């Protein structure tokens, strides 16, 4: 653990909850040079995501993407991580909170535990590793990359404490651990404890308690997961055979339908079920049949509609619009029979399945409810914290912020965005103290080893029993010591322990070692640690090689100790060979220009500008038109009733009067050069097209989207056919007209979810509900028909949808291939639609036909912007983020961020969250004085280069170019370090530093030396 | 008694997927033959024809390149490039009289420890059946 005394610096931010959201908040704050205390009640951080097999919409493995984030959060110097810790009391106010924390005893000393697993082997009942189907079991180290990398003991289950203590090779088990209590002073608090999941065992008609083959969606996920109870083989719990027919039932515990169900929509379950069905199909193809029983498929996120279409059309997932009314056992076959009805037949249907998956929704559990009560923040009827204004991450208590599923049900990308936004808000409350120059331990000068004969020091860990029980490390060291260039070879015990590290450092200095090989665990986890060590010993970080003799030898060949010994020797020989060829490398770094360029003066652009300007950064806000406010300037109020006009006016006023913001109206971006931290962007400004250049360190794109106006359903042919945007203006400005109306028809998905524009516009369903409710406020007698395909009123919008139904709004589903027919008749519109339940056509004569047309990307401006900044776009023209899940507001070009509807259609409050998220992400760059670009970059030898352009074409990131001297040049600031150019170069003019050809070939030579002999 | 032939197999593993999968196989204690020796590369696309040929020249009985699953490459398409290169090298090996099956391209995600172990086992068995590399036999 790090030194906890931070009294000499500004007060930290307390982050409650170490799931993905909490980790993101903590990392953002830490990277922006702010201190964080991250607490979680669990044994390891990671939250719910660590239990997932794959995530939508990429269907990627999760751990691969999450694990680096986890260990990153442990490495960060600014973060103090406290597992098994809960908040007991909070006093004080914004900027000056006092928080009482209680830490449960782990009975394991984190400094000593190496995660070797000896205790688990000896006492499996009190140290549990297997993440079983039963998530109530003590799952203490739930997944292999757990952080902290340590086990935990349940002492109550242990019969022989003395033996348990003895079995630990490092003496890490401490049965006298009493836990601890303490107070922490902090500036602000971010709550990201996540949410619980609905427990369906109370709903007996679902058979969850009676039949093992009825599982929840999370349990099904565990069955699919490689780290799950069946090691990733999907097997029916009852028979152990692969299931042939699996059914998903949506909305379990959500949308107010069953006993005990919540009134809201849980938002993520439709995508979750689609993913599980697709992954099942992917693995078993024709051998499995997947069916989803749904009410509305709510795939409203960016590109999610395409995912739904892919499930339906490419994977053959079957969709049935129905809510099964019974889940019964077939005693004879052992299978499950689902009873259901559909819209188009009055008959009761039934179908047999091998497994039934219940798509359970999110809940606020008791623990989180009492957390909210203890903190004194207001919550809604479902116990989710309420935000007083449009800012979703604020609570009713200043200085306390929320993010993730605790704020409202949501999926991972939205959690990540909120987490960054919360970091932005919480960071503002940290009062920066005079920055005391922290005495970083002075590093010795780097020794110049170029030209010296290699003197390699080989240090071999026994990692307790992990290596030592299979091979004799002393003997191995003896054998290695005779290799060419090896000056010292010695056993190092637990090489990563403090004593061993100190011993290694001394040995390097005393023996004048100039290259180091560590024989031990994986460089993935420990390379950085040993790089720091040899740097402290006066060597360049890159004069280090790893031989992974634990993961690749002793863990996997323990039954063949002799062969294991021989292989370990081979791996060490290869590492020695490679390290002899290693060069000292310089890490590239660049000074940072701390100005910000924000493009687009809508609510997202203005909010991002204000947040950054408030933090003291100079902001240039460029707006193409001659007014600020974007689309929001035309909106009257939100579904929840917030006054948008007042909000936008206030925002414009604050933006225009801020000292650190320069608003540039009528600005058109025309050129751009540079690299993150030092960009130069040129623009033409105003009617005179006066050219101006701005130098800045980061760029924020908030260019917005356009209201769609497709030529469908007679839009534009008569004044009685309008869009939702027009309708809300009419309701607001001309209530008399609205009072004269008898019938209003709304058609959803106009110009969205079609062949031309396959994605969902996300905002239209709540828009229809909002305008319908507003219409009824003005004219309670008006009859409103909403013709829809799927009502996508996610999260708390669902409650307004229910309210609209209760107030008599008629919602009728239509099929895409049977759209309503529209005919202008005098002042009226005749709308004919097919009623699926009645099975016949219905004609309505409406005073107003309102089309839900949604948003489309601003094709012209986005195309231009993408060309100038070299940014990728999605197929429908929106800017494409770097990682849809984990970096949702970062663009793939470093130093670029995206906020608002330039990313995808979204609501004002969602745009505001993104705006604050980009402000937070931008600060992670702006807080630094220089950017470290690492050393693994490709380098061209101009003398060998024939300018054949192969590297130019091969590079996935378009970095190489032919320079004025006629040879290929690779900018180390832009190089991602994959080495593809080096492999493709026919003249071998390119080398990837840290992985040079001679190092790889030396490994091969060493490996086969004895074979040749 | 004649000893069983123990082939030496070189596995070029991408740092982001296959190398991590190998670590995963380790932490799950999945047993596979010790014949496989891993060389870590940042991306399977970094593996050069020269590296593959050098391995055979020096005496490898089998070589495989292990990259990320389709579409998962950390560097966009390095694994596709590696696949193409391996296919091309297989044709070349055939021309010079080495069984092309001695070389293979495999793909896996970082979570697939089991797949890593299975491939290592299958590859070892396959090469064992093929016998020592003709290059080694010629040198002997």
Nearest to B23 among A524, A564, A570 (CB): A524
Chain B residues in contact with A552 (beta carbon < 8 A): 22, 26, 38
Q: Report the length, in residues, of chain B.
A: 140
Distance CA A419, CA A20 (A): 9
Which range, of A6-20, A90-104, A998-1012, averages the lowest pLDDT? A6-20
Confidence class for position A765, pLDDT limits 50, 70, 90: very high
Distance CA B118, CA B113 (A): 9
Nearest to A571 among B32, B37, B58 (CB): B37
Same-domain pairing of A185 and A77 = yes
3-state SS class at A509 = helix
Which range, of A44-48, A596-600, A958-962, B43-47, averages the lowest pLDDT? A44-48
Q: Which tokens in the block code for residue A425? A: 């808000």
Confidence class for position B139, pLDDT limits 50, 70, 90: confident
Question: In this predicted model, what pLDDT tens digit does every residue of A843-858 receive, in sequence order?
Answer: 999 999 999 999 999 9
Query: Distance, in angstroms, between A603 CA and closest chain B CA?
Result: 34
Q: Which positions 889-948 of A are in contact with B (Cβ < 8 Å)?
A: 936
For residue A920, CA distances in Å to A72, A412, A596, A602 come to 18, 18, 13, 18
Q: Is 90 exceeded by the pLDDT of residue A113?
A: no
Q: Considering the domain boundaries, does residue A931 fall inside one? A: no
Same-domain pairing of A799 and A892 = no
Q: What is the pLDDT of residue A369?
A: 94
Q: What is the pLDDT of residue A71?
A: 46
Specify which residues A445 forms β-bridges with.
Answer: none
Question: In this predicted model, what pLDDT tens digit does every residue of A5-55 receive, in sequence order?
Answer: 334 458 999 999 988 889 889 888 988 888 999 998 887 666 665 655 555
CA angle A136, A141, A142 (to 5 degrees): 60
Q: Count chain A–chain B contacts defined by CB atoms under 8 A.
A: 156
Contact A227 B45 (CB under 8 A): no
Contact A1007 B81 (CB under 8 A): no
Across the range A588-604, mean pLDDT stands at: 92
Q: Which positions 841-880 of A are in contact with B (Cβ < 8 Å)?
A: none
Return the percentage of chain A with pLDDT > 90, whole number: 66
Q: What is the pLDDT of residue A65?
A: 46
Chain A residues in contact with B71 (beta carbon < 8 A): 58
Contact B117 A558 (CB under 8 A): no
Same-domain pairing of A961 and A911 = no
Question: Are residues A1004 and B58 in contact, defined by beta-carbon separation less than 8 angstroms?
Answer: yes
Contact B111 A64 (CB under 8 A): yes
Q: Is 60 exceeded by the pLDDT of residue B131?
A: yes
Q: Which domains does chain B have, with CATH numbers?
A: 9-133 (3.40.50.960)
Across the range B40-58, mean pLDDT stands at: 95
Q: Give the residue from A230, A466, A520, A552 with the most B CB atoms within 10 Å of its CB, the best one to mutate.
A: A552
Q: What is the pLDDT of residue A974?
A: 80
Q: Is A950 on the interface with B (CB under 8 A)?
A: no
Chain B residues in contact with A227 (beta carbon < 8 A): 111
Q: What is the pLDDT of residue A74?
A: 40
Distance CA A31, CA A119 (A): 36
Q: What is the pLDDT of residue B105?
A: 97
Contact B34 A564 (CB under 8 A): yes
Number of independent structural domains in chain A:
7
Q: Which tokens in the block code for residue A904? A: 């995808």
Nearest to B26 among A231, A552, A980 (CB): A552
Same-domain pairing of A319 and A227 = yes
Same-domain pairing of A674 and A739 = no
Across the range A525-547, mean pLDDT stands at: 91
Which range, of A348-362, A461-475, A685-699, averages the lowest pLDDT? A461-475
**Paired sense of beta strands A214-216 and A355-360, if any:** parallel
Chain A residues in contact with B81 (beta carbon < 8 A): 954, 980, 983-984
CATH code for the domain in which residue A429 is found:
3.50.50.60
Query: Distance, in angstroms, between B93 CA and closest chain A CA?
Result: 18
Q: Considering the domain boundaries, does residue A999 fall inside one? A: no
Q: Is A883 on the interface with B (CB under 8 A)?
A: no
Question: Are residues B38 and B44 in contact, defined by beta-carbon separation less than 8 angstroms?
Answer: no
State chain B's mean pLDDT as an integer: 91
Chain A residues in contact with B33 (beta carbon < 8 A): 557
Confidence class for position A420, pLDDT limits 50, 70, 90: very high
Residue A502 domain boundaries: 457-581
Confidence class for position B2, pLDDT limits 50, 70, 90: low
Query: Distance, in angstroms, between B3 CA and closest chain A CA?
Result: 14
Q: Considering the domain boundaries, does residue A447 fall inside one? A: no
Distance CA A990, CA A947 (A): 12
Which range, of A81-95, A225-239, A326-340, A477-491, averages the lowest pLDDT? A225-239
Q: What is the pLDDT of residue A60?
A: 45
Examine the fold and report which residue of A340, A363, A386 is the final residue of a domain before the chain moves on: A363
Q: Is A548 on the interface with B (CB under 8 A)?
A: yes
Which alpha helices (H) appear in A557-643, and where do they start and end?
561-581, 603-614
Contact A564 B51 (CB under 8 A): no
Question: In this predicted model, what pLDDT tens digit does every residue of A934-946 receive, in sequence order?
Answer: 788 999 999 999 9
3-state SS class at B18 = helix
Examine the fold and report which residue of A856, A878, A900 is the final residue of a domain before the chain moves on: A856
Same-domain pairing of A471 and A576 = yes
Distance CA A1008, CA A342 (A): 69
Contact A977 B42 (CB under 8 A): yes
Question: In this predicted model, what pLDDT tens digit does every residue of A975-985 receive, in sequence order?
Answer: 889 999 999 99
Contact A983 B45 (CB under 8 A): yes
Confidence class for position A156, pLDDT limits 50, 70, 90: confident
Question: In this predicted model, what pLDDT tens digit does every residue of A778-802 receive, in sequence order?
Answer: 999 999 999 999 999 999 999 999 9
Q: Is 50 exceeded by the pLDDT of residue A62?
A: no
Q: What is the pLDDT of residue A45?
A: 65
Q: Which tokens in the block code for residue A934? A: 């690492």
Question: Are residues A152 and A127 in contact, defined by beta-carbon separation less than 8 angstroms?
Answer: yes
Same-domain pairing of A470 and A505 = yes
State chain A's mean pLDDT as an integer: 88
**Scanning every residue of chain A, which has its alpha carbon at the shortest distance from the alpha carbon of B77?**
A956
Query: Distance, in angstroms, between B53 CA and closest chain A CA?
Result: 10
Q: Is A527 on the interface with B (CB under 8 A)?
A: no
Q: Which residues contact A860 (CB under 8 A, 6 or more apart)?
A: none
Q: Considering the domain boundaries, does residue A587 fall inside one? A: no
> How many CA within 13 A on the CB side of residue A458?
32
Q: Which tokens in the block code for residue B105? A: 């391209």
Q: What is the pLDDT of residue A30?
A: 86
Nearest to A1012 among B25, B33, B59 (CB): B59
Q: What is the pLDDT of residue A268?
A: 95
Distance CA A557, CA A548 (A): 13
Across the range A66-78, mean pLDDT stands at: 52
Q: Is A1007 on the interface with B (CB under 8 A)?
A: yes
Distance CA A278, CA A22 (A): 29
CATH code for the domain in which residue A119 is found:
3.30.70.20
**Better-scored residue on pLDDT, A282 or A906:** A906
Tell me the CA end-to-end span of chain B in Å, nearest whole number: 20
Query: Distance, in angstroms, between A463 CA and closest chain B CA?
Result: 13
Work out the number of other CB atoms within 10 angstroms of the CB of residue A118.
20
For residue A934, CA distances in Å to A76, A810, A883 come to 17, 61, 21
Confidence class for position B4, pLDDT limits 50, 70, 90: confident
Query: Distance, in angstroms, between B58 CA and closest chain A CA?
Result: 6
Nearest to B114 among A232, A552, A553 (CB): A232
Contact B39 A1011 (CB under 8 A): no
Examine the fold and report which residue of A363, A379, A413 is the final residue of a domain before the chain moves on: A363
**Scanning every residue of chain A, which has its alpha carbon at the shortest distance from the alpha carbon of B42?**
A978
Return the percentage of chain A with pLDDT > 70, whole number: 91
Q: Is A954 on the interface with B (CB under 8 A)?
A: yes
Which range, of A410-414, A456-460, A773-777, A888-892, averages the lowest pLDDT? A888-892
Same-domain pairing of A346 and A375 = no
3-state SS class at A744 = strand
Question: Are residues A484 and A575 in contact, defined by beta-carbon separation less than 8 angstroms?
Answer: no
* Residue with token string 């029916």: A236
Across the range B110-135, mean pLDDT stands at: 92
Same-domain pairing of A358 and A369 = no
Which alpha helices (H) appear in A301-345, and where do they start and end?
304-313
Confidence class for position A488, pLDDT limits 50, 70, 90: very high
Q: Is A956 on the interface with B (CB under 8 A)?
A: yes
Question: Are residues A973 and A933 in contact, defined by beta-carbon separation less than 8 angstroms?
Answer: yes
Q: Report the length, in residues, of chain A.
A: 1013
Query: Distance, in angstroms, between A65 CA and closest chain B CA?
Result: 9
Confidence class for position A81, pLDDT limits 50, 70, 90: confident
Same-domain pairing of A851 and A863 = no
Q: Considering the domain boundaries, does residue A590 fall inside one? A: no
The answer for A905, left when phi > 0, alpha when psi is -120 to 50, beta otherwise, is beta
Confidence class for position A145, pLDDT limits 50, 70, 90: very low
Chain B residues in contact with A567 (beta carbon < 8 A): 34, 37
Contact B136 A1011 (CB under 8 A): yes
Q: What is the pLDDT of residue A131?
A: 36
Distance CA A325, CA A338 (A): 8
Same-domain pairing of A319 and A207 = yes
Tell me the CA end-to-end span of chain A in Å, nearest whole number: 50
**Paired sense of beta strands A289-294 and A318-321, if any:** parallel
Q: What is the pLDDT of residue A614?
A: 95
Torsion of CA A606, A612, A614, A618, to 10 degrees: -100
Question: Are residues A288 and A242 in contact, defined by beta-carbon separation less than 8 angstroms?
Answer: yes
CATH code for the domain in which residue A557 is found:
3.40.50
Q: Considering the domain boundaries, does residue A591 fall inside one? A: no
3-state SS class at A529 = helix
Q: Is A1008 on the interface with B (CB under 8 A)?
A: yes
Distance CA A550, CA A103 (A): 33
Which range, of A173-182, A222-231, A294-303, B123-132, averages the lowest pLDDT? A222-231
Helix (H) or strand (E) holding A189: strand A188-191
Q: Considering the domain boundaries, does residue A820 fall inside one? A: yes
Question: In this predicted model, what pLDDT tens digit does every residue of A245-268 receive, in sequence order?
Answer: 999 999 999 998 677 899 999 999
Q: Is A95 on the interface with B (CB under 8 A)?
A: no
* Residue with token string 């599982």: A215
Same-domain pairing of A69 and A187 = yes
Query: Distance, in angstroms, between B92 CA and closest chain A CA?
Result: 16
Q: What is the pLDDT of residue A53?
A: 55
Which range, of A107-116, A197-206, A479-488, averages the lowest pLDDT? A107-116
The answer for A207, left when phi > 0, alpha when psi is -120 to 50, beta otherwise, is left
């Amino acid at each position: 653990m790090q030194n906890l005394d931070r009294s000499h610096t500004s007060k930290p931010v307390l982050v409650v909850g170490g799931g993905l959201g909490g980790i993101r908040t903590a990392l953002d704050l830490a990277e922006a040079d702010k201190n964080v205390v991250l607490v979680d009640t669990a044994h390891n951080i990671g939250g719910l995501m660590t239990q997932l097999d794959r995530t939508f919409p990429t269907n990627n493995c999760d751990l691969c993407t999450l694990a680096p984030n986890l260990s990153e959060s442990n490495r960060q110097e600014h973060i103090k991580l406290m597992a098994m810790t809960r908040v007991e009391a909070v006093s004080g106010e914004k900027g000056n909170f006092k928080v009482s924390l209680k830490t449960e005893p782990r009975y394991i000393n984190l400094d000593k535990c190496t995660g070797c697993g000896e205790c688990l082997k000896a006492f499996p009942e009190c140290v549990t590793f297997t993440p079983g189907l039963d998530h109530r079991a003590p799952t203490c180290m739930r997944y292999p990359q757990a952080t902290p990398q340590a086990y935990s003991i349940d002492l109550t289950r242990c019969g022989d404490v003395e033996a348990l203590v003895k079995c630990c090779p490092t003496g890490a088990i401490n049965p006298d651990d009493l836990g601890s209590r303490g107070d922490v002073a902090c500036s602000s608090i971010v709550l990201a404890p996540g949410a619980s999941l609905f427990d369906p065992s109370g709903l007996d008609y679902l058979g969850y308690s009676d039949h093992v083959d009825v599982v929840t969606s999370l349990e099904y996920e565990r069955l699919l997961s490689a780290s799950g109870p069946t090691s990733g083989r999907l097997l029916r719990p009852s028979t152990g055979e692969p299931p042939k027919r699996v059914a998903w039932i949506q909305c379990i515990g959500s949308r107010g339908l069953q006993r005990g169900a919540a009134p809201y929509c849980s938002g993520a379950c439709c995508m979750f079920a689609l993913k599980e069905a697709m992954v099942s199909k992917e693995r078993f193809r024709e051998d499995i049949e997947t069916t989803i029983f749904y009410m509305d498929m709510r795939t409203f996120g960016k590109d999610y509609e395409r995912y739904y279409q892919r499930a339906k059309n490419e994977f053959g997932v079957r969709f049935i619009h129905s809510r099964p009314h019974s889940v019964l056992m077939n005693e004879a076959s052992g299978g499950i029979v689902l009873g259901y009805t559909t819209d188009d037949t009055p008959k009761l249907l039934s179908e047999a399945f091998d497994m039934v998956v219940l798509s359970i929704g999110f809940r606020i559990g008791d623990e989180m409810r009492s957390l909210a009560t203890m903190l004194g923040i207001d919550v809604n009827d479902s116990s989710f914290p309420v935000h007083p204004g449009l800012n979703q991450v604020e609570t009713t208590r200043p200085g306390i912020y929320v993010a993730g599923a605790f704020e409202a049900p949501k999926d991972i990308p939205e959690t990540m965005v909120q987490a960054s936004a919360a970091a932005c808000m919480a960071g503002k409350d940290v009062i920066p103290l005079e920055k005391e120059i922290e005495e970083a331990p002075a590093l010795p000068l780097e020794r110049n080893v170029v030209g010296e004969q290699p003197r390699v020091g080989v240090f071999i860990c026994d990692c307790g029993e992990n290596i030592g029980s299979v091979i004799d490390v002393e003997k191995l060291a003896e054998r290695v010591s005779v290799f060419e260039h090896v000056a010292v070879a010695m056993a190092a015990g637990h090489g990563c322990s403090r004593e061993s590290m100190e011993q290694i450092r001394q040995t390097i200095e005393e023996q004048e070692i100039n290259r180091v090989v560590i024989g031990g665990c994986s460089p993935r986890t420990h390379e950085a640690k040993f790089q720091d060590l040899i740097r402290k010993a006066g060597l360049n970080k890159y004069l280090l090689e790893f031989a992974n003799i634990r993961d690749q030898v002793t863990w996997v060949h323990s039954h063949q100790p002799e062969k294991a010994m021989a292989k370990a020797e081979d791996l060490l020989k290869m590492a020695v060979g490679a390290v002899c060829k290693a060069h000292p490398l310089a890490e590239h770094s660049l000074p940072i220009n701390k100005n910000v360029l924000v493009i687009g003066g809508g609510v997202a652009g203005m909010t991002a500008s204000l947040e950054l300007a408030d933090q003291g950064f100079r902001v240039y806000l460029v707006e193409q038109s001659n007014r600020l406010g974007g689309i929001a300037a035309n909106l009257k109020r939100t579904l929840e009733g917030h006054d948008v006009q007042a909000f936008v006016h206030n925002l414009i006023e604050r933006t225009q009067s801020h000292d650190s913001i320069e608003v540039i109206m009528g600005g058109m971006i025309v050129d751009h050069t540079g690299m993150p931290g030092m960009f130069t962007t040129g623009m033409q400004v105003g009617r005179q097209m006066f050219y101006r250049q701005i130098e800045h360190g980061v760029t924020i794109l908030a260019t917005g989207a356009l209201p769609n106006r497709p030529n469908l359903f007679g839009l534009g042919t008569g004044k009685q056919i309008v869009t939702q945007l027009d309708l809300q203006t009419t309701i607001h400005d001309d209530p008399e007209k609205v009072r004269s109306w008898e019938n209003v028809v709304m058609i959803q998905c106009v110009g969205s979810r079609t062949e031309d524009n396959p994605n969902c516009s996300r905002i239209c369903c709540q828009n229809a509900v909002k305008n319908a409710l507003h219409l009824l406020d003005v004219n309670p007698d008006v009859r409103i028909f909403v013709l829809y395909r799927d009502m996508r009123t996610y999260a708390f919008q669902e409650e307004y949808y229910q309210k609209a139904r209760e107030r008599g709004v008629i919602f009728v589903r239509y099929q895409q291939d049977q759209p309503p027919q529209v005919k202008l008749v005098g002042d009226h519109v005749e709308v004919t639609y097919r009623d699926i339940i009645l099975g016949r056509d219905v004609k309505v004569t409406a005073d107003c036909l309102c089309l839900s047309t949604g948003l489309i990307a601003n094709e012209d401006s986005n195309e231009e912007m993408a060309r100038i900044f070299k940014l990728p776009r999605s197929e429908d023209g929106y800017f494409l983020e770097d990682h849809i899940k984990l970096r949702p507001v970062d663009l793939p070009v470093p130093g670029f961020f995206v906020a608002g509807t330039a990313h995808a259609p979204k609501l004002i409050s969602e745009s505001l969250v993104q705006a604050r998220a980009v402000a937070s992400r931008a600060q992670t760059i702006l807080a630094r004085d220089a950017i470290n670009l690492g050393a693994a970059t490709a380098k061209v030898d101009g003398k060998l280069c024939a300018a054949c352009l192969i590297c130019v074409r091969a590079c996935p990131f378009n970095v190489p170019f032919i320079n004025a001297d006629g040879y290929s040049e690779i900018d180390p600031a832009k190089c991602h370090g994959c080495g593809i150019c080096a492999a493709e170069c026919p003249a071998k003019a390119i080398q990837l530093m840290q992985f040079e050809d001679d190092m790889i070939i030396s490994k091969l030579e060493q490996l086969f030396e004895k074979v040749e002999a | 008694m004649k000893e069983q032939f123990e082939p030496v197999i070189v596995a070029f593993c991408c740092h982001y997927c296959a190398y991590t999968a190998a670590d995963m196989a380790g932490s799950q204690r999945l047993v596979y033959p010790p014949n496989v020796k891993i060389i870590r590369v940042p991306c399977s696309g970094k593996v050069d024809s020269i590296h593959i040929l050098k391995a055979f020249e020096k005496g490898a009985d089998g070589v495989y390149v292990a990259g990320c699953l389709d579409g998962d490459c950390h560097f966009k398409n390095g694994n596709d490039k590696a696949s193409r290169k391996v296919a091309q090298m297989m044709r070349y090996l055939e021309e010079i009289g080495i069984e092309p099956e001695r070389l293979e391209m495999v793909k896996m995600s970082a979570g697939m420890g089991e797949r890593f172990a299975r491939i290592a086992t299958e590859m070892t068995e396959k090469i064992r059946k093929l016998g020592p590399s003709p290059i080694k036999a010629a040198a002997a």
